[in-house]
């Protein structure tokens, strides 16, 4: 392996400590030759993460009201977990898929750095609330989607940024409103930063999904629907159309519309 930046990406990906992972990520610089560097370590390695939080099935997660401080802390913990997983997803998109244009790797490195900053904002707010990341259970749906799409960068771009991350564009405004009604403006400020910047992340997924479709001579809209069906993924309304359209969605590509 001749590109030191690719090794740095791998080192950050497998780092278990969240603080150290973010620190390592800050020092990653990738060169123009990264697409041609063969991956030396096994790409099926599970990304590094701490022993806690305890991972549960989504149906086993406790339900809490956002009207109380415990519920608001649980919400911030869930968002922190999503952002931590998003760091690994962005790093994995760099590490796993070879022979992509240089802009692809720079795009996903920028996403990884944003997600690390989002994680830091969530963790700081959690600690202000008397909690820390890992003290509550969480689920692992994001990384399960990464495993399902590990074989193909087109499937990854369709199913992770354009389904799971795009769902955040739909649900975050409602969370912001409920937190605002509870008078928790500090948490509102964190989620507003995340919502604003996630539009760009989904747009990056859209860009590379469409470029890959063009490269493979596939029609984007039916290909997107086909990939969702093949990977048993669903998108459900209501949709935040202003944010989705800013991220490159068109209404005819979503199933059922």
**Residue 40 and residue 22: Cα distance in Å, rounded?**
23
Give the pLDDT of residue 123: 98
Total Cβ atoms within 10 A of residue 96: 17
CATH number of 70-253: 1.20.1260.10
Contact 236, 256 (CB under 8 A): no
- How long is the chain? 257
Give the pLDDT of residue 1: 39
Give the pLDDT of residue 256: 62
Cα 113 from chain centre: 11
* Average pLDDT, consecutive stretches of 10 residues, N- to C-terminus, the chain (257 residues): 75 94 91 71 75 82 76 95 95 92 95 98 97 92 82 95 95 96 96 98 98 97 92 90 95 74
Global model pTM greater than 0.85: yes
- SS3 sequence of the chain: CCCHHHHHHHHHHHCCCHHHHHHHHHCCCCCCCHHHCCCCCCCCCCCCCCCCCCECCHHHCCCCCCCCHHHHHHHHHHHHHHHHHHHHHHHHHHHHCCCCCHHHHHHHHHHHHHHHHHHHHHHHHHHHCCCCCCCCCECCHHHHHHHHCCCCHHHHHHHHHHHHHHHHHHHHHHHHHHHHHCCCHHHHHHHHHHHHHHHHHHHHHHHHHHHHHHHHCCCHHHHHHHHHHHCCCCCCCCCCHHHHHHCCCCHHHCCCC
**Residue 254 and residue 247: Cα distance in Å, rounded?**
14
């Amino acid at each position: 392996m001749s590109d030191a930046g690719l090794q740095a990406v791998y080192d950050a990906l497998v780092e278990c400590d969240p603080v150290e992972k973010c620190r390592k990520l800050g020092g990653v610089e990738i060169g123009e030759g990264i697409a041609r560097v063969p991956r030396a370590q096994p790409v099926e390695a599970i990304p590094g993460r701490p022993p806690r939080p305890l991972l549960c099935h989504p149906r086993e997660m406790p339900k809490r009201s956002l009207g109380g401080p415990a519920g608001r802390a649980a919400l911030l913990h869930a968002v922190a977990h999503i952002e931590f997983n998003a760091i690994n997803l962005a790093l994995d998109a760099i590490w796993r898929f070879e022979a992509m244009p240089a802009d692809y790797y720079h795009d996903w490195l920028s996403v990884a750095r944003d997600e690390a900053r989002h994680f830091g904002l969530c963790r700081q707010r959690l600690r202000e609330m008397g909690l820390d990341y890992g003290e509550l259970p969480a689920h692992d749906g994001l990384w399960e989607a990464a495993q399902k799409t590990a074989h193909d960068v087109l499937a990854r771009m369709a199913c992770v940024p354009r389904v799971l991350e795009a769902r955040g564009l739909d649900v975050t405004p409602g969370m912001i409103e409920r937190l605002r009604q509870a008078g928790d403006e500090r948490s509102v400020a964190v989620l507003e930063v995340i919502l604003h910047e996630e539009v760009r992340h989904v747009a990056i997924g859209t860009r590379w999904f469409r470029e890959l479709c063009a490269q493979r001579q596939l029609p984007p809209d039916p290909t997107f629907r086909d990939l969702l069906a093949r990977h048993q993924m669903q998108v459900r309304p209501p949709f935040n159309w202003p944010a989705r359209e800013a991220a490159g969605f068109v209404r005819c590509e979503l199933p059922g519309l």
